[in-house]
Amino acid sequence: MTVPLFDTKTPLEPLREAILERVAAAIDAGRFILGPEVAAFERELADYVGVGHAVGVGNGTDALSIAARALGIGPGDEVVVPSFTFYATAEAIAAIGATPVFCDIDPDTRNVTAETVAPALGPRTKAIVAVDLFGMPAEIPAIRDAFGLPVIEDAAQALGASLYGVKAGALGDIATFSFYPSKNLGGFGDGGAITTDDGELAERVRALRFHGSRDKQTFEYVGFNSRLDELQATILRVLLPHIDTWCDGRRAGVQAYIDAGLGEHLTLGATPEGATPAWHLYVATHAEADAKLAQLAAAGVQARGYYRLPLHRQPAMAPYLARSGRALELPVTDELARTNVALPISPVFTRAQADAVVAALASA
């Protein structure tokens, strides 16, 4: 049995007709930039996340740059970011002239914590980026309490997750989402959003995504041209009502792995009390990760090692390491980068697929 790493196609099939109808109507309406579909999606996303404001932007990377700029961050400022994450988390900070300073993560949740952030703080630290990695909500309230610094929640992988009933996207001072096709809520192209409960921040974000202008006449900031497309918003509005069902499917898939005995072959992460993960990816570890990946590939299972070269070892980040001048020992990051095995997971993942993955691991 071939088991794909993602299955973005099957969950969309029952929605195909509805999507085509709504896209046709949006084409007929002829408003392609910041029209009624974007406005309605922003309201629906804000309601789903449980915050006052959502603002659609071009992608999840721009969302991070715009969120940081809205917090007043710029050249000379430092922002603490994890090293074990997708490159965009740090790139978006560097792109606005600020310095990303890398920190380690907790080995069980793979997320930053108050303990791992502390050594990266300095007098120029203006904010902390906490990634809800692989869909596991980071323990952001504890980080906010510990340092009194604003937390930007990179929730690109976590729509549908929650921590003690508070949804990912509502945990930080401001949060960012990506609707890249393989994310938990994936559009048919690039897209992103920023969520916050702070009305002033939301207004700055709205101006920044439109060239730094509120009225298209006066330009207050050097901003961005980064808007969620009307057609993407039209599609995302059809998909959003299904996000909980899809996340339930992902959680059932992870339970199927556990029931199938995955823990006998790989080391599984931990879900802290109060956390409901959205499982964008299901990632286990093994000391011989690449050998396990080869074994899985031979059996038709599409597994993959993620972020094998963590961000503090990426060539483009070298000048930022030098600039921050902080000592950089990130042992948990280095270990996880070497040992992680991301396994297939999707909203329609089955017990039979879990059995096939476990059988492939057992066949050594």
Ligand X SMILES: *Cc1c(COP(=O)(O)O)cnc(C)c1O
Residues at the site binding ligand X, with contacts judged by CB under 6 A: 59-61, 85-86, 88-89, 131, 154, 156-157, 178, 180, 190, 192
Nearer to ligand X, 61 or 276 (CB): 61
User: How far is it, in rounded angstroms, from Cα 172 to Cα 139?
Assistant: 10
- CB-based contact 78:149 (threshold 8 Å): no
Nearer to ligand X, 83 or 178 (CB): 178
Residue of 14, 36, 12, 15 lying closest to 25 (CA atoms) = 36
Nearer to ligand X, 88 or 341 (CB): 88
SS3 54: strand
- Residue 362, judged by CB atoms within 10 A of its CB (0-12, 13-18, 19+), counts as exposed
Residue of 142, 103, 156, 110 lying closest to 125 (CA atoms) = 103
Nearer to ligand X, 182 or 363 (CB): 182
**Minimum separation from the CB atom of position 29 to ligand X (A):** 26
Residue nearest to ligand X (CB): 60
User: How far is it, in rounded angstroms, from Cα 335 to Cα 321?
Assistant: 20
Q: Is the dihedral of CA 158, 159, 161, 163 positive or negative?
A: positive
- What Rg, from alpha-carbon coordinates, does the chain have? 20
Nearer to ligand X, 61 or 324 (CB): 61
Q: Which pair of tokens denotes residue 345?
A: 């997971």
Consecutive H or E run containing 359: helix 351-362
**Minimum separation from the CB atom of position 345 to ligand X (A):** 15
**Minimum separation from the CB atom of position 63 to ligand X (A):** 7
Q: Which pair of tokens denotes residue 22?
A: 């709504």
Nearer to ligand X, 89 or 324 (CB): 89
**Minimum separation from the CB atom of position 12 to ligand X (A):** 18
**Minimum separation from the CB atom of position 182 to ligand X (A):** 8
- CB-based contact 309:316 (threshold 8 Å): no
**Minimum separation from the CB atom of position 92 to ligand X (A):** 7
User: How far is it, in rounded angstroms, from Cα 334 to Cα 58?
Assistant: 32
**Minimum separation from the CB atom of position 363 to ligand X (A):** 32
Nearer to ligand X, 226 or 276 (CB): 226
